[in-house]
Amino acid sequence: MNTRDLEYLVAVAEELHFGRAAARCHCSQSALSGQLRKLEDSLGVSVFERTKRRVRLTEVGAGIVERARDVLRQVEALKATAAASSNPLAGKFAIGMPLTIGPFLTPRLLPAIRHYLPDLALELLEDFTDHLEEQLAAGELDVAILATRPTHTTLDEIIVYDEPFWVALPHGHPLAAEDSVDVQNIDPRELLLLADGHCLRDQVYAACRLNRGQRNGRDDGGPRTQNTSLATILSLVGAGSGVTLVPAMSLSDSWVTDSGIALRREQSGTAGRTVRLVYRKGYPRMALIEKLADIIAGVVPDTVQPVRR
């Protein structure tokens, strides 16, 4: 048994098709099938049920495949440890960000990474926070830039910056006459929120002290959910269709020039989020994580309060 056999095993388990698994592993289908037969013989169990039409994992096979994934992750960690000893600031590095951070941080972050970490082969992924945590814990990401504390016990964090929320209103809205807005004065029926799954939605609920039972803004007086992007919600605000809260990093984006939107500070100064770098405990390239934290803190605008400098 070798790591190539385990890669074959995981590929078939994920593809449930020998032809696709062979293409993914860059080998012939007969070679892949033959190696898995030998692996099953050595283990003394059947990992897969094979018919002419389908492939499926056996009950014991599911557990074996999960163990194989663990072994492959450990092998990658060994390689990363060896690479880090020579140059921890070089090589492949995958960063995940939520959809409400990536579009605003990435334009500032990428030029700085190219300057300070020129040997880094960067991969970027945007997704929901819970998906990013799962991928990070599984070793599919090196780090995630999140606005919530990690829930996985295998993950740790470095706090990078605190980001206030601003209130975005249509021009002519009564609250726009003030220099700052008390979020308690926002009518929940006017409030436009991202759909469930976005951490920004939960943070706005908390900032406005809303009842989580207030869901749809029709008969129950709750905020309206928009299954769309923050950019589209801001377009609705500009068109006079509602009010929302936006993270301060977004104030440098092009939507700010929209004449239909008035921006006001949140009066209490408590509405906002804390952004952190989240990584696996025991990650071998901590020098890179620390460097990245410093880079991020150095590129955020004046509307954001960096924790590191």
Of 84, 109, 131, the residue at which a domain comes to its end is 84
Q: Can you tell me the distance from the alpha carbon of 32 to that of 22, in angstroms, rounded to the nearest whole number? A: 6
Residues 14 and 155 grouped into a single domain? no
Closest to 129 in 3D by CA, of 137, 121, 117: 137
Per-residue pLDDT 10s for the chain (309 aa) are: 889 999 999 999 999 999 999 999 999 999 999 999 999 999 999 999 988 788 999 999 999 999 999 899 888 878 777 766 667 788 889 999 998 899 999 999 999 999 999 999 999 999 999 999 999 998 899 999 999 999 999 999 999 999 999 999 999 899 999 899 988 888 888 888 887 777 788 788 787 776 655 544 444 555 676 677 888 888 888 888 889 999 999 887 777 766 688 999 988 888 899 999 999 998 988 999 999 999 999 999 988 999 865
- Total count of domains within the chain: 3
**E strand or H helix at 288:** helix 286-299
Model confidence pLDDT, tens digit, residues 14-38: 999 999 999 999 999 999 999 999 9
Letter for the amino acid at 49? E
Residues 42 and 125 grouped into a single domain? no
Of 84, 119, 144, the residue at which a domain comes to its end is 84
Residues 132 and 203 grouped into a single domain? no
Residues 287 and 143 grouped into a single domain? yes
Closest to 176 in 3D by CA, of 268, 263, 267: 263
Q: Which domain holds residue 42?
A: 3-84
Letter for the amino acid at 73? R
Residues 154 and 282 grouped into a single domain? yes
